[in-house]
Structure 1
């Protein structure tokens, strides 16, 4: 990457009838002086350093934005803004020229004005040469200096003799060792003073005992807490405010459809909220202003949003615009990009450009100094925390993790971020200056689904939902819950005459179901969570993966047979035969191709070069896979031919399993059976909507009396809003 820097002595740059002041980042003409934004200043500097040559868009992305996620609209807007500043005149025509499909060029001669230096270049060179002198010369110089300054002093004479005696010791080395020792002692002392485990006791802030609270958000002043609360009678989510000084709960928004708070105004006296109903394809964003007693004084509609998902929003009130998560990016319903909207004109421009294989950019939040935004890029199995300027420039990825991150919070002086990881029960913080991450384990007296780090306290909500294992009998049309606990059970995998599933923990716990009896298995799983797995009935091997780790478990002998660490993240897997696994691997560039992995030789071979997110093998040895848009293909590896079998692109969420010539799939509210041979589709479970339960995974169990389905069902339960206090 090219670093955009002038020589330190350059104080002005003159071109055409303009003068650029490098110290104040301002542009001066005969008529006016105007201060440049950081982005405009950086682009102009790059033009000045590269005059009279074509600069491609790719070069701008790598050199000016310093990343690879810049949309063309952002580049166009940045160049347009700079052109408006450099208004063309007869004496100074248009300085920035567009070259069709090539890039831009800066047409001007430039003159650099430098300030006078007290030291000549030769003197500076002598200083550099002197600082690089040899050990003997260095010690001789030190001795001469000591001799000059300690003449007539008997005590210092003894010091001089010691220096002569120990010439081989470098003074710089001694100072360095002492400095490092002092630093290490200080760090050890600091580390010992830090509580690496936070033992917290929850104090209830909410007043209802039978409600579901979610989407907690602290006001910029940290004096109010906004949240949604489910009205159990109407089944509609409403918005409440909790005063953090008086703990008073006030309902401020109640609409015919669900309402969710999605952002704050910087004065903490206004909120932005979303009203949404997916069945009627209704989505609007509103602003509500309220009085000192938290009563709403004014409401105003901001925009119409075409989304099935809940948004997030940051308000840039100085520019009278909002930055929000806009779903449907590149015509993918579940893919979100950050978009800035001018509230005066309604004009929008794109701030971020996520990859097609991701779920996009979410959970945007504005820094207290109103200069930066932070957001989370949601990838398959990964979360990436970014910061950027409000116009999307200077995007920087701070942290990448396999942990689930639902939001990040700024500290008071905008110098750091914090977030909570519910799966590992850790509170994480990132210092923007030192770029260090601090992790602290959290021990609470209740299951916590979310935790908000405030300036001086921690707030959160107890768990609103979990995943439980159900058994569904298609003949009797009966749905029976097998496991009910506040811990989540997940990823059912059928084997001969039974099935396995996992329970959350560190590490995850393996359970089995045989003969209508549930047992805890003794197999040690060295992973805190799992992303995908499949059983091979021929060799009794269970393949499990998480991130880049792959494990093979021998279910006969109840032990770990083999483990592998791959270079790329494993998105999905399926047994191809007894020695080979089909792996969907995610590359750094975002591609997700299908590979054949030999578990004996560890040889990897790419066999499908198209993007995929799910894969399976049928009885004929053909490969069935799902692309990013929920289209399904059948690929013959022998002939190298593929055929499109089914399109479910209208659904943003599809889980599926291939079994004996049929594709079984669910969109969350149903369970269907699709014949690959006849294209016939049959509903096995229709309109599944019992107390807001959603099917999140399933597996098929073939028994002597027919088929049964093991369903992983996500359900909502009542919870509390709490203040966490140290024990």
Structure 2
């Protein structure tokens, strides 16, 4: 018997493919056989219990573990979807075909002809489709991760503090800047092939779908671009293989959550062949690189979702063996952007340890040695990393500057851009020319809105209305727990961020704020209805809403994500320390600070009983002693990729993910969650304390952007 690519051996409870063989436990093999007897049919949990376990009662966790283990065993690089699909509130179905001969749902290598890019209609005024579009997803992840602590940072050093040695500063003059792409939507991540003959870039269309476009630069008069796209799949650029015309991509299934690294061979452009290299976990901060000989894949891996620290990995594609080149830290981002030198001899990568400051390393695959090249003494989220044409410098676009790090002398050159030029990503065409995109984590563009969402108990369509019909950004919201008609939100209507109160009396500005260019990312209304706490540029503020009196409670720029204690006597917050992020408490009356967690912890939240919870490594934990005794309430969920931003509403927990999904879960029973699909990318979630079925969401709507050719001197 064959199940997709797997040969099934009932005599020894095993499955195999080539040199890969797995021996299953009897119960797990019995579950597999039952699925094989009903391929592509939805089987309820009760059917599985009756046929496989044959007991009157089976714990839900036992079924969950069995399904998860079987799904992982059946994963195969050639499969384009998850082998076992979950149907919410209905059951599970096997997505592989049973036959008497081996088969693959996708061939390893296929030859295609190029097709012209279809005309894109003008953007319409309607919600963007529910999907996982890459440029927005990556930017959104960086925004949510760094909004509190990095929102005011820049790669330009602060002249008031000591600077690292060896920084040279230059003022650049832009001699040419012209738009070279005209597709509607967001065009990002320009990548030039090593011979400068092909330009590839990501294209997010107005309907939210993502594809990759490859253009020949040898024939500028040609109007035909090569479009790489597949239904229900997001194709995201990773990198060009050194000294070749082979393009590495990460491809994510929007319906089944599948993830694969694939290689497009473009030597015969516009004809191409595609080869599946390896499976992957899903969205990560970094980009993968393929070695010059095509035998080793370098990538980053976040074991418990996109908000957990990432390790630096290497996979031998022929054997399938994986090595951890650098382990993930306990907190922070871990390994991030990767860049293989043009010669293919050295791998550069960025690493964020427990601090928020990036470290730039070089890895030598031959000696397996890591060398610290540069330590940034200021916090910054970096979106791109590449090598100069002669492999002497590492180049980092920093929105309003280009950073060059000399790999020999370890000195920095800071090349400042004119005010009219912004670069978030670039691919060098020559030493003074590049294809660029302005992709950044800037909150100055009008991309954020707060919407009110009414959720139906039957998981059907949701009702979405804007909090405010006005031009500009609205970011964070808090609801008065004592009165149902009052909400406070942060907004940027005129180029500066302020606090506003919405009530039956209309709209009122609450206060003027210093440094109004930094957004207010978190808002919390005290349970007694009198005070509002918020974080801004990493500092804590408390506003007495009755007396309209505002006080700044911290000045170190290390605090964020405040939540009130149940008696309104103080707050829990996250504090960034040299060894990581930890939860602290602040007493409003004594003004004393106390460290609560002794292990890295983020995103504190208080339940209806006033008990403190927090997030660590993909889990929600209940506070006991701030250490090993703290008990998990929700386990890490690798498949759903939930953000570590959870809110309690009575006993239920609300959470969301990058795909625009909102879930309501009871602690101890995550499988019985209610799930709703929201047609937006979600930044923040706030339940309405007066309505069980109402939440307020901050959504992200990206502005259009194009690829530009920039020349400087």
Q: Give TM-score, length-normalised by structure 1.
A: 0.61
Deviation at 1:697, TM superposition (A): 0.6
Which residue of structure 2 lines up, in the alignment, with residue 364 of structure 1? Answer: 338
Deviation at 1:228, TM superposition (A): 2.1
Deviations 1:70-119 (A, max 9, x none): xxxxxxxxxxxxxxxxxxxxxxxxxxxxxxxxxxxxxxxxxxxxxxxxxx
Which residue of structure 1 lines up, in the alignment, with residue 687 of structure 2? Answer: 700
Gapped regions of structure 2 (runs ≥ 5)? 1-165, 441-445
Which residue of structure 2 lines up, in the alignment, with residue 163 of structure 1? Answer: none
* Structure 2 CA distance for partners of 1:314 and 1:401, relative to 1, 3 Å: farther
* Structure 2 CA distance for partners of 1:680 and 1:366, relative to 1, 3 Å: closer
2:634 pairs with 1:646: yes
Which residue of structure 2 lines up, in the alignment, with residue 262 of structure 1? Answer: 238
Which residue of structure 2 lines up, in the alignment, with residue 627 of structure 1? Answer: 616
2:464 pairs with 1:479: yes
Task: Give the Cα–Cα distance (whole angstroms) in 1 for the partners of residues 238 and 671 of structure 2.
Answer: 43
Which residue of structure 1 lines up, in the alignment, with residue 646 of structure 2? Answer: 656
Deviations 1:360-398 (A, max 9, x none): 323211234544322233578935242222335233253
Deviation at 1:264, TM superposition (A): 1.0
Instruction: Give the one of 237, 250, 253 matched to 2:211.
Output: 237
Deviates more, 1:461-470 or 1:266-275: 461-470
Deviation at 1:448, TM superposition (A): 7.0
- The answer to whether the 8 A contact 1:510-1:525 is kept is no
* Structure 2 CA distance for partners of 1:434 and 1:233, relative to 1, 3 Å: closer
Deviation at 1:470, TM superposition (A): 1.2
Deviation at 1:600, TM superposition (A): 5.5
Deviations 1:649-702 (A, max 9, x none): 34322322224444333235333444569999674x6122x2xx2222122345
Instruction: Give the one of 495, 498, 506 matched to 2:487.
Output: 498
2:218 pairs with 1:218: no
Deviations 1:271-326 (A, max 9, x none): 2223331533433323233247x424544333333435586222331x54434224
* Structure 2 CA distance for partners of 1:652 and 1:623, relative to 1, 3 Å: same
Deviation at 1:608, TM superposition (A): 3.5
Task: Give the Cα–Cα distance (whole angstroms) in 1 for the partners of residues 318 and 348 of structure 2.
Answer: 24
Which residue of structure 1 lines up, in the alignment, with residue 322 of structure 2? Answer: 348
Deviations 1:565-587 (A, max 9, x none): 34x94453322254532223344
Deviation at 1:500, TM superposition (A): 1.0
Deviations 1:550-570 (A, max 9, x none): 33345456564124234x944
Deviation at 1:480, TM superposition (A): 1.6
* Structure 2 CA distance for partners of 1:679 and 1:298, relative to 1, 3 Å: closer
- The answer to whether the 8 A contact 1:271-1:289 is kept is yes
Which residue of structure 2 lines up, in the alignment, with residue 607 of structure 1? Answer: 596
* Structure 2 CA distance for partners of 1:378 and 1:427, relative to 1, 3 Å: same
Task: Give the Cα–Cα distance (whole angstroms) in 2 for the partners of residues 458 and 337 of structure 1.
Answer: 31
Deviation at 1:479, TM superposition (A): 0.6
Instruction: Give the one of 240, 244, 251 matched to 1:275.
Output: 251
- The answer to whether the 8 A contact 2:619-2:636 is kept is yes
Deviations 1:388-428 (A, max 9, x none): 22335233253265433222223333343333345xx5544
2:419 pairs with 1:419: no
* Structure 2 CA distance for partners of 1:310 and 1:663, relative to 1, 3 Å: closer
Deviations 1:192-251 (A, max 9, x none): xx437x77985221143x244233323345554311234678945233235288385621
Which residue of structure 2 lines up, in the alignment, with residue 290 of structure 1? Answer: 266
Task: Give the Cα–Cα distance (whole angstroms) in 1 for the partners of residues 280 and 402 of structure 2.
Answer: 33
Task: Give the Cα–Cα distance (whole angstroms) in 1 for the partners of residues 668 and 316 of structure 2.
Answer: 53
- The answer to whether the 8 A contact 2:238-2:250 is kept is yes
- The answer to whether the 8 A contact 2:202-2:210 is kept is no
Question: How well do the aligned residues superpose, as a CA RMSD in angstroms?
Answer: 4.4
| Pairing 1:4-403 to 2, within 5 Å after superposition | 194-195=170-171, 203-208=178-183, 210-222=184-196, 224-230=198-204, 235=209, 237-241=211-215, 243=217, 246=220, 250-251=225-226, 253-256=228-231, 257-291=233-267, 294-309=269-284, 312-317=287-292, 320-329=294-303, 335-377=309-351, 382=356, 384-391=358-365, 393-396=369-372, 397-399=374-376, 401-403=378-380
Instruction: Give the one of 449, 461, 479 matched to 1:468.
Output: 449
Task: Give the Cα–Cα distance (whole angstroms) in 2 for the partners of residues 598 and 453 of structure 1.
Answer: 53
What number of residue pairs does the alignment pair up? 522
Deviations 1:141-175 (A, max 9, x none): xxxxxxxxxxxxxxxxxxxxxxxxxxxxxxxxxxx
* Structure 2 CA distance for partners of 1:353 and 1:634, relative to 1, 3 Å: closer
* Structure 2 CA distance for partners of 1:482 and 1:281, relative to 1, 3 Å: closer
- The answer to whether the 8 A contact 1:634-1:644 is kept is no
Which residue of structure 2 lines up, in the alignment, with residue 15 of structure 1? Answer: none
2:650 pairs with 1:670: no
Give the helix-richer structure, 1 or 2: 1
- The answer to whether the 8 A contact 1:416-1:430 is kept is yes
Task: Give the Cα–Cα distance (whole angstroms) in 2 for the partners of residues 234 and 477 of structure 1.
Answer: 19
Structure 1 SS opposite 2:335:
strand
Which residue of structure 2 lines up, in the alignment, with residue 88 of structure 1? Answer: none
- The answer to whether the 8 A contact 1:259-1:276 is kept is yes
Structure 2 SS opposite 1:720:
coil
Deviates more, 1:530-539 or 1:619-628: 530-539
Structure 1 SS opposite 2:395:
strand
Gapped regions of structure 1 (runs ≥ 5)? 1-186
Task: Give the Cα–Cα distance (whole angstroms) in 2 for the partners of residues 505 and 394 of structure 1.
Answer: 48
* Structure 2 CA distance for partners of 1:538 and 1:272, relative to 1, 3 Å: same
Task: Give the Cα–Cα distance (whole angstroms) in 2 for the partners of residues 347 and 279 of structure 1.
Answer: 29
- The answer to whether the 8 A contact 1:492-1:502 is kept is no
Which residue of structure 2 lines up, in the alignment, with residue 552 of structure 1? Answer: 542
- The answer to whether the 8 A contact 2:476-2:698 is kept is yes
Which residue of structure 2 lines up, in the alignment, with residue 435 of structure 1? Answer: 411
Deviation at 1:518, TM superposition (A): 5.5
* Structure 2 CA distance for partners of 1:352 and 1:641, relative to 1, 3 Å: closer
Which residue of structure 2 lines up, in the alignment, with residue 513 of structure 1? Answer: 502
Which residue of structure 2 lines up, in the alignment, with residue 720 of structure 1? Answer: 706
- The answer to whether the 8 A contact 2:263-2:274 is kept is yes
Deviation at 1:636, TM superposition (A): 9.0
Structure 1 SS opposite 2:447:
strand
* Structure 2 CA distance for partners of 1:491 and 1:237, relative to 1, 3 Å: same
- The answer to whether the 8 A contact 2:633-2:668 is kept is no
| Pairing 1:562-641 to 2, within 5 Å after superposition | 562-566=552-556, 569-570=558-559, 572-576=561-565, 577-590=567-580, 592-599=581-588, 601-618=590-607, 620-633=609-622, 635=624
Structure 1 SS opposite 2:262:
strand
- The answer to whether the 8 A contact 2:358-2:380 is kept is no
Deviation at 1:334, TM superposition (A): 5.2
Task: Give the Cα–Cα distance (whole angstroms) in 2 for the partners of residues 522 and 663 of structure 1.
Answer: 32
Q: Which has the higher contact order (CA 8 A, sep 6+)?
A: 2
* Structure 2 CA distance for partners of 1:394 and 1:488, relative to 1, 3 Å: farther
Task: Give the Cα–Cα distance (whole angstroms) in 2 for the partners of residues 231 and 686 of structure 1.
Answer: 24
